[in-house]
Homo-oligomer: A and B are copies of this chain.
Amino acid sequence: MTNSILIKGVALDERCQDVLIVDNVIEKIGDSIVFEAHKVIDGSGKTLIPGFVNMHTHAAMTLMRGIGEDMHLKEWLYKKIWPIEKKLDDELVYWGTKLAALEMIKSGTTCFNDQYWNLDAAVKASAEMGIRSVQPFVILDLGDKSKWSKIKEECYSAWERSKLWGPRNRFAIGIHSPYSVSEEMLVWGTNFARERGLLVHIHVSETEGENRDSVDLHGVSPTKYLDRVGVLGPDIIAAHCLWMDDEDIEIFSKRDVKVVHNINSNLKIASGYRFRYNEFRDAGVTVTLGTDGCASSNNLDMIETMKTTALVQKAWREDPTAMPLDELLNLATKNGGLALGINCGEVKEGYLADLSIIDTNSIAFTPNINFKANLVYSANSSCVDTVICDGKVLMEGRRVDGEREILDNVNRLYKKLL
């Protein structure tokens, strides 16, 4: 017997409709659906949207929320983050990822693209929480040849183990960045992924200094260097991409590289803010949004990410019509699905049932003249009432099973990192 959910009379595309989910797919959308569903959800006073796709995060960094504030990047990395990361173990990453998944579910995110350590623990946590994820094995050698054989061996082994993962968690390759990974391993990792049809998640041109260093070392920008060594292609998810010239954007367009913009992190550590969204869009590049990890951006809230993204685009372009609401919402939903090659991010028949139900019976939606404007500019994530992922209800009336246990365990464990 397959699972089924009928959402009755929920606002969708400016009118109330019924939505039927069978198994993990949106089976039917219509004015009055008659079906004996296992579960019926009353959608009155609520609006249905696709679940958000958080395209760049380091999930278990929830453990380090607020650990290094108002600091310069190098001090932050050397004195705070790297010493702490040496203390990570499976138990910490498991509970840190559980907290991240909980936080994402409570703010309407149904899928995330991770990049962190202790992969098996992260996948176990994600799988138990019911959220969809792409989980990479991370390659980071800092130019040290002696690490290569161990990295390769571990990568093969992780790939083998990933065959036992459930359907919602997909294996990928994470290449930290062109500046922290040798050319040999960049190429090896990309080829490993291509031979198996996997995505590659990589940081590109996050800071101006990174670009300067690339020119010093390779004679060209990170993008041109990555293209020269054959890394770029439609399977590449490039995070940040803040410092891109016209030629770089043209290369991304030609290679169909996917881009993740992470504005809160970029602002907070002062990496930059002039993300060239219009130029990427006009070149046909798929642009998506991410929160980055909680060590740099402090939360995993995609509604807040949408708001800051649009505000900063309007301001730096000196154009209040920049980043209109329809485009903005697509970046946070549909484009994430496109970039990951997952059939999610839209409320349409045949799509995966990865959905959020927004409660509009609140101050933030009063008056409710413009739902999208209210969602992005007026509300915060406490407006997310119900979350369905892969056809299963993960949150209803803001209650998620096991929330208390997760907070208690993180509060017990994080002190090991200090």
Contact = CB atoms under 8 A, between A and B. Distances in A.
A302 B99 CA distance: 26
A230 to B, nearest CB: 34
Given A66-B374, A69-B377, A264-B311, 14 more contacts: A63-B367, A65-B374, A67-B369, A70-B324, A72-B320, A72-B321, A102-B363, A268-B314, A268-B320, A270-B319, A273-B315, A297-B377, A299-B364, A380-B382
A407 interface: yes
Interface in A60-88: 62-63, 65-67, 69-73, 76
A264 B372 CA distance: 17
Contacts of A264: 311
Interface string A88-131: 00000000000100110010000000000000000000000000
A266 interface: yes
11 contacts: A65-B369, A66-B374, A66-B378, A73-B320, A106-B363, A264-B311, A273-B312, A297-B377, A308-B311, A367-B414, A382-B382
A294 interface: yes
Contact of A418 (B272, B301, B317, B369): B369
Interface in A285-300: 294, 297-299
A338 interface: no
7 interchain residue pairs of minimum CB distance? A66-B370, A298-B377, A380-B380, A66-B373, A267-B311, A382-B382, A367-B414
A381 interface: yes
A215 to B, nearest CB: 19
B363 A103 contact: yes
Range of interface residues on chain A? 35 or more
Contacts of A374: 65-66, 298
How many identical chains are in the complex?
Answer: 2
B71 A366 contact: no
A156 interface: no
Contacts of A294: 378
A318 interface: yes
Interface of A: 62-63, 65-67, 69-73, 76, 99, 102-103, 106, 264, 266-270, 272-273, 294, 297-299, 301, 304, 308, 310-312, 314-325, 361-364, 366-370, 372-374, 377-382, 403, 407, 410-411, 414, 418
Contacts of A297: 377
Contacts of A319: 270
Nearest to A377: B298
Interface centre among A69, A266, A316, A411 (most CB of B within 10 A): A69
Contact of A317 (B270, B318, B378): B270
A370 B71 CA distance: 14
Nearest to A403: B363
A403 to B, nearest CB: 8
Nearest to A408: B366
Contact of A377 (B268, B361, B362): B268
A44 to B, nearest CB: 14
A267 B414 CA distance: 37
B315 A366 contact: no
A71 B321 contact: yes
Interface centre among A322, A377, A410 (most CB of B within 10 A): A377
A63 B366 CA distance: 8
Given A264-B311, A364-B299, A374-B298, A71 B320 contact: yes
A367 B410 contact: yes
Contacts of A366: 62, 65, 99, 407, 410-411
